[in-house]
Amino acid sequence: MTSKIDKKPLIGIVMGSSSDWDVMSNACKILEQFGIPFEAKVVSAHRMPDEMFAYAETARSRGLKAIIAGAGGAAHLPGMLAAKTTLPVLGVPCVSKYLRGQDSLYSIVQMPKGVPVATFAIGEAGAANAAIYAVRMLSMTDDTLAEKLEQFRASQNQAARDMVLPTDD
Ligand code: RP5
């Protein structure tokens, strides 16, 4: 999948399986909202190791600025990508069948010194926040994006102020 924007992708979103899509689609939605060109695909560390290495090795020369990688269970994808590229890798622990993503979180966050993966929360919030974080990185050199982030912050503030509890009349 590529974004609807007709430009070279700046962010790569990869996941270990199509079963991660429910979580990782939340990252795609954020990038679409901010108008960031991206690509999204399945690149499995365990089932497609050669393709995973090729993805990491060519990512920078293809123009990507960061990779958002989501995986569940023995979630080696973000760490192995980080081992094979110098781009920032943002890791998203996907919800797993038996341990509800705690295994994914531990697999992604406990990287050895020298090979960083920025690790986000388990599930939907983690995927969305990884994408917002990627937008923040891109905004360092893009004032229009910085302004969009201010508007996003303001709209969240307003939404929280407008929250109504069932007991409010
Ligand atoms: C991981 O194994 C994937 O990231 C996924 O979260 C998990 C299960 O994959 P499936 O068996 O559902 O394809 O590699």
Per-residue pLDDT of the chain (169 residues; tens, 9 = 90+): 777 677 899 999 999 999 999 999 999 999 999 999 999 999 999 999 999 999 999 999 999 999 999 999 999 999 999 999 999 999 999 999 999 999 999 999 999 999 999 999 999 999 999 999 999 999 999 999 999 999 999 999 999 999 999 987 6
User: Could you tell me which residues come within 8 angstroms of residue 145 by beta carbon, excluding any fewer than 6 positions away?
Assistant: 34, 36, 135, 138, 139
* Index of the ligand 1 atom closest to the CA of residue 70: 4
Q: Which fold has domain 11-161?
A: Rossmann fold (3.40.50)
* Index of the ligand 1 atom closest to the CA of residue 72: 6
- Ligand 1: residue of 14, 19, 44 to mutate (most ligand atoms within 8 A of CB) is 19
Q: What is the pLDDT of residue 2?
A: 74
User: Structural domain boundaries of the chain?
Assistant: 11-161
Q: Whose CA is nearest to atom 6 of ligand 1?
A: 72
Q: What is the pLDDT of residue 168?
A: 74
116-153 burial by CB neighbour count: b if 16+ within 10 A, else e? ebbbbebbbebbbbbbbbbbebbbeeeeebeebbeeee
CA of 152 to the centre of ligand 1 (A): 32
Question: Is residue 16 in contact with ligand 1, taking CB distance under 6 Å?
Answer: yes
Residue type, 164: V
Distance, in Å, from the CA atom of 115 to the CA atom of 98, rounded to the nearest integer, reads 28
CA of 153 to the centre of ligand 1 (A): 33
Question: Is residue 72 in contact with ligand 1, taking CB distance under 6 Å?
Answer: yes
